Every structure is written in C-alpha cells, then in structure tokens.
Structure 1
Amino acid sequence: MKRVLVTGGAGFVGRHAVAALATRGFEVHALGRTAPEGIQAFHAADLLDPSQRRAAVQAASASHLLHLAWVTTPGRYWQAPDNLDWTAASLDLVRTFREAGGIRAVVAGTCAEYDWTEIDRLPRAELESPSPPLRSEGDEAAIQSGHLVESALCRPATLYGAAKDGLRRILHAYAATTGLSFGWGRLFYLYGPGETPGRLVGDAARALLAGERLATSEGRQRRDFLHVADAGAAFAALLDSGVEGPVNIGSGDAVPVRTILESIGTLTARPDLINFGARPLGPTEPACIEADIRRLADEVGFSPRYRLGPGLAETVAGWREALSSSASSP
C-alpha cells in the first residue's frame, strides 16, 4: 500500500484531499497540530519547528508527500512575513522527506504566482466578449484575456505569490538533482462549506442569511472558482499520477463575481441586501483570472465534478444549517 504524509490535512482543502487519498488506496498519515478525520496515523508536530518536523517525517516513513499547510489567514497572508518562515520550513520538509526515502511529492501553489500585469483591466475587457475563446498554449492573447496556462510568465505581485514561486523553482531544481518525482498544484479561487471568514462566497452567504447588507464592487471581474471538494480530489489525483511540474487546479470557467453573488442572493432569498458598487475595485485588478485546465484533464485525468450552481446551493444550505444550529445552541 502507498503511504502518504499530508500536511494541512485538517484544513479547508486538506480534509477533502485526505478523503480522496483514502479512496485511492493510500495509507494516509497526517503531520500537524490537529488530526484530520479518516487517517491511519497522526504525527503531532509544529511544522515550523525543525526538530519536531524532521522527527515526524522520519517516523512516518512515507513514499508520498502532499504539502498543503501554509499561512492562510484571509486578508493577512498576501504580505505576511510568515511566508518566509513557511518557505524555509517547506524546503526542509521536502528535503527531509526525500532523504528518508520518499519518492514523490506534490506541493500546493497559487495562481498568484502568475504575472497579472499583462492581463486586461476591467474597463477594456467590458467592451469585449464576456467569455474569451480558448487559445493555444503560449498565445499572448490568451494571457492578455486572463486565460492562464502553466507556461505563462510568473512574476508575483505579493509576498505570498513570490514565496510560492520561489519555493517551486528551488524544489524543481532539487527534485531534478535527487530523482524526486515532483508535482506542483496551482490553486485558483475556492468556495464550499466550512470556509473561514474573509472569503467571498462564505462571507456573502453568512451575511445574507443573517439579514445583513453586503457591500461589494460592481462585480464585473471574472474569476475561476472551484468547489473545495474538487480541489482536494484534484490534489489526490495529481499525487497519484506521475505528472511533474506545475498543474493548474481550477474549474477552467471564470464567471463574473456579480453572477456568483446574484446566485447567492437568490438562494438566500435576499438579493435586495446586495449593494453592488458600494466598494471600489482596485485600478490594477485584472478583468479575468481563469485556469487553463487541459493539463489537469489530459495528463492527470481529473475533471471537476461540481458545477457552480449546485455547488453554491450546497454551500448556502450548509451555512443555513450552521447558522440555525448556532442560534439554537444554549
């Protein structure tokens, strides 16, 4: 049986990845402060503590590594100095794993690694087709429209993006010199039940279900949102494959943020509470950020299961139940 060591297994994406890995026949071990459900073994450790981290990796003696843990506090992680700590810890984690006999590692990256400065800004894009056609890999027009293929230039605008991009480059070189099979999953935007505060879909659902007004931009910017269960399953599929290098993990279909919020308004029966245009959109905000997922589909063999409509309905239903349970608790 293949043994995998998962970091961040109790997190938003991690718990879905753990379930998907178990379904694929992995013996799942987890490393961290909180034990996820559905695992065979838990190695309690602070990932930022070198001695604890190394001892846990060696004790697990895993053949595979899925590294999802990182600083992810909404609104803070983009420029948090903690990104430096996580970069150093991640480098040592993968090295320790390889030196302990590990053969394949997959690490979570981000669409924020890409150069967004070449993507059209909103005013120009509003005059064009709302759904840019798929173009060939490397086509500058595709990048300009916000359709991002893995070969697109990486030039991050945030410390978070730079930390992830730098980590990928170093690990790619390290893997090449040591014979480690190495994959990199670039996450786009996520939604789903159990989101922490600070994320678009969860915040909107909670506010409208609570009868609160939701101040937002006009919502014309298009974003690629993927259900978190699909994200976890995609990471499991990537780890279980032999695919190396960066692989986009998204839906492949960016939609206007306005469409998402209008759907949540309908599902909560409170569209009247959405104040479109109450918040300005930053002048450097790209008009569209969309994943090219042909590599995920053709090479990894994974396709998202959730369509946006049913996924949003499930998410809103989850928050309705959670808020109702919270209100009825003593």
Structure 2
Amino acid sequence: MRILLTGASGFVGRHALAALVRMGAEVHAVSRRRPPVPGDYAWHEGDLLVAGEAGRVMEEVRPDRVLHLAWCVEHGKFWNDPANLAWTAATLELAEAARRSGVGRFVGVGTCFEYDWPEEGLCDEFSTPLAGHTLYDTSKDATRRLLAAFFEDAGIGFSWARLFFLYGPDESPGRLVSSIARSLLSEEPALCSRGLSVRDFMDVRDCGHALAVLALSGVAGPINIATGEGTSVAEIATMMGEMAGRPDLIRLGSLPERTNEAARIVAATGRLKDELGFKSARTIEQGLREALSFWRGAVRGA
C-alpha cells in the first residue's frame, strides 16, 4: 500500500507518519521541511501552495492512497488567516492530480469547529448540523463538500476526518496543555480562566495512529477522531498542577472568559470504534503525565 502523506512534518503529520511506518505501509511524505521522524519512508520536499507542485509530486510518487494533512495551522493566526483560501485551492489541485494519477482513496482532515455544537450531547457525523464559525472551519467544510462531490463523480473513495482538541509532544507553546506545563515546570503561576468549558481532549499520538488506520481502511464519509469523553479545562489544569506537585500555581479565574465560548464540544465516536475498530491507547491522565514529561525535558534543555 503506497501512501502519499502531506503535511508530514507538522504537529499531527509526524505522528501519522510514524504510525504508518509502524504499520508497514510504503510511505511517501511530502512537506517543506524533513520530518523529525526516524524510520523507513521516502521524503519529498515540496510546497503544495506552489502551482503545479501537487501534479509533480503525484506523478513522481504514483500513490495508491492520499492522506492530506497540509494546511495553515499557525497558533493564534489560522482561524482567520487568508491562507485558508489558498489551501482550499491547493487541496482541489491535489485532488485533480490524484484523479489523473489513478489514486483509489483520498482522506482529508477537517475540524470539530465545522459542527453547530449542541448545548448537550455529542457531535455526531450525520445528525449534528454544521455551521461556520471562522474562515478556517468554513474553508474546511467547503473543501469537504467539493471533494466529496468530485471524488464521487470520479469513483474515488473519500473520507473526511474531523479532529477535536489535541495535545502532546511538540505542540505550540501557546496552547492550553503546553502553556500550563511550561508555567508549572518554570515554577510560575499558570493563569487560566474559570475553565468551565468541556472539551474532547486527545493525545496527538493517538490521533496520528487513528489517521493512519483510517487511511489504510475503506471507511468512507465523515468520521470524528476523538475520545468521546468530555473534560473541563479546569479539570485539565487541576490534574496537571497535582501531577507536577504544584497545585498552588494553578490560578483558575485569573483570566477573563472567552466571548461566545461553546459550553461543550465532545465527539460521538461510534464510527471510530465500531467501523474503524480504533480506541485511544492513552487515558487523559496518562497523556497529561507524558506531556509534562516532554515539557520537563524541553524546559531543562532551553
């Protein structure tokens, strides 16, 4: 099974790459920078935002399947980054190149922000309505709709993975888990809101593994990549404070609440568990302990 993986050096991509290699796939990774991942795979330097690059890489690799992760994801910027429009266009160019080269299956990656989040209950792939909130998720959903129509007409298998709230090794320092970890390990106050919002947090390594399983499967349509369990931000912060032995540094309520914040965003994971046969390997407690360990090494090495 020859797989073309885009965005292979990114936060999620490197873990999908590692999982595909472990599973024995012939992986061809394309990215601007060489992925920091050991193992037996081919790396192709490329920027899919450059016109014609998708066709060049596709012609060179001739993959059986594509797992497309590349997109603009700079922390704090990607929500309304105009580059979302460029990535929509680049993804459509990649899809056409895939059709020309005879690809049999294409897996794209979206976001839980595509959903019109229910006040109670779970975000279900087929029963929960969709709604645009930012340019990022609006672009993602528009891309999904276009790809679904295109691949159906072309007779190419298509799946769309919606990711929820990821944390873990190498995440941006400004994200929730990493910022709390860095504050605790630097023996500085970890400033938080009251943390009442409930989210579906997943270790990025489990997410990468799930995406690899999805790429090698025949599961079609939208599918949530998540744990199906809700944890409040306050619970995350409190657990991390206790794990680090510094609960006194957790300052809940020291930051203002975000406006228009959804109270609950948790995934329905029936398709993931029953159709894909996947379950996260790590509990939230284990994942947070390992995140603290990662940042302990990073802070000491800084």
**Amino acid aligned to 2:158:** F
**Amino acid aligned to 1:78:** W
Cα offsets for 1:225-283 (capped at 9, x unmatched): 00011100010111111111100001100111101101111122222222211222234
Cα offsets for 1:110-144 (capped at 9, x unmatched): 0011113xxxxxxxxxxxxxxxxxxxxxxxxxx33
Rounded Cα–Cα distance in structure 2 between residues aligned with 1:311 and 1:109: 23
2:97 aligned residue: 96
Rounded Cα–Cα distance in structure 2 between residues aligned with 1:310 and 1:214: 20
1:276 aligned residue: 252
Cα offsets for 1:148-178 (capped at 9, x unmatched): 1001111121100000000000000001100
Rounded Cα–Cα distance in structure 2 between residues aligned with 1:236 and 1:308: 21
Are 1:42 and 2:43 matched, yes or no?
yes
Are 1:150 and 2:150 matched, yes or no?
no
1:19 aligned residue: 18
Rounded Cα–Cα distance in structure 1 between residues aligned with 2:196 and 2:103: 45
SS of match in other structure, 1:190: strand
Where do 1:227-266 residues align within 5 Å? 227-266=203-242
Rounded Cα–Cα distance in structure 2 between residues aligned with 1:51 and 1:157: 31
**Amino acid aligned to 2:256:** P
1:51 aligned residue: 52
Q: What is the aligned counterpart of 1:197 among 156, 166, 173? A: 173
Moved more, 287-296 or 143-152: 143-152
Identity, in percent, stands at 44
**Amino acid aligned to 2:145:** R
**Post-superposition shift, 1:301?**
1.0
Rounded Cα–Cα distance in structure 2 between residues aligned with 1:39 and 1:32: 16
Cα offsets for 1:182-240 (capped at 9, x unmatched): 01100000011111122100111011111222221101111000001110001011111
Query: Would you say the 8 A contact 1:146–1:286 is kept in 2?
Result: no
Q: TM-score, normalised by structure 2?
A: 0.96
Q: TM-score, normalised by structure 1?
A: 0.88
**Post-superposition shift, 1:39?**
4.5
Structure 1 segments of 4+ aligned residues over 6 angstroms from their partners? none
Cα offsets for 1:55-92 (capped at 9, x unmatched): 11210110110011111111110111110001100111
- Gap regions ≥5 residues in structure 2: none
SS of match in other structure, 1:316: helix
Rounded Cα–Cα distance in structure 1 between residues aligned with 2:98 and 2:40: 19
2:72 aligned residue: 71
Query: Would you say the 8 A contact 1:224–1:252 is kept in 2?
Result: yes
Rounded Cα–Cα distance in structure 1 between residues aligned with 2:283 and 2:20: 22
- Gap regions ≥5 residues in structure 1: 117-142
SS of match in other structure, 1:162: helix
Query: Would you say the 8 A contact 1:43–1:60 is kept in 2?
Result: no
**Post-superposition shift, 1:46?**
1.0
Query: Would you say the 8 A contact 2:159–2:220 is kept in 1?
Result: yes
Query: Would you say the 8 A contact 1:146–1:287 is kept in 2?
Result: no
Moved more, 175-184 or 279-288: 279-288
**Post-superposition shift, 1:21?**
1.1
Rounded Cα–Cα distance in structure 1 between residues aligned with 2:18 and 2:259: 41
Query: Would you say the 8 A contact 2:119–2:264 is kept in 1?
Result: no
Query: Would you say the 8 A contact 1:30–1:39 is kept in 2?
Result: no
SS of match in other structure, 2:280: coil
RMSD of aligned C-alpha atoms?
1.1
**Amino acid aligned to 2:51:** P
**Post-superposition shift, 1:23?**
2.2
Are 1:169 and 2:169 matched, yes or no?
no
2:195 aligned residue: 219
**Post-superposition shift, 1:40?**
2.2
**Post-superposition shift, 1:50?**
1.5
Query: Would you say the 8 A contact 2:21–2:41 is kept in 1?
Result: no
**Amino acid aligned to 1:224:** D
SS of match in other structure, 1:246: strand
Rounded Cα–Cα distance in structure 2 between residues aligned with 1:265 and 1:325: 21
2:27 aligned residue: 28
Where do 1:248-327 residues align within 5 Å? 248-326=224-302
